[in-house]
């Protein structure tokens, strides 16, 4: 199984991952409280292809939002 994304979508995914890592670092270092985490969302599409050539396009969405944590 192979997943393919455009360079634009790969950049968006990388930026989102960096955001999540930075938020985690700040939380661990107590530089930020959980209720101060900014909302960030990313959406992208990827094409999946299996070993026999069957292809599907998936739309993925991920978000970092702690506003609903009690």
Looking at the structure of the chain, the number of domains it has is 1
For residue 56, the SS3 value is strand
Q: Tens of pLDDT along the chain (70 residues)?
A: 788 888 988 898 898 889 989 999 999 999 999 888 888 888 888 899 999 989 998 888 877 765 555 4
Q: Is residue 8 part of a domain?
A: yes
For residue 29, the enclosing domain spans 2-64
Q: Is residue 69 part of a domain?
A: no
CA quadruple 19, 23, 26, 31: dihedral sign: positive
Nearest to 38 by CA among 16, 54, 60, 59: 16
The reported pTM is: 0.69
Residue keyed to tokens 């270092």: 29
Q: Is residue 24 part of a domain?
A: yes
| Helix spans in the chain (H) | 7-28
What's the DSSP call for residue 37? P
């Amino acid at each position: 199984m192979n997943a393919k994304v455009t360079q634009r979508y790969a950049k968006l995914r990388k930026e989102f991952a960096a955001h999540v890592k930075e938020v985690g670092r700040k939380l661990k270092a107590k530089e930020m409280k959980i209720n101060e985490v900014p909302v960030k969302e990313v959406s992208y599409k990827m094409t999946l292809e299996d070993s026999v050539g069957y292809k599907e396009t998936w739309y993925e969405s991920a978000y970092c939002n702690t506003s609903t944590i009690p």
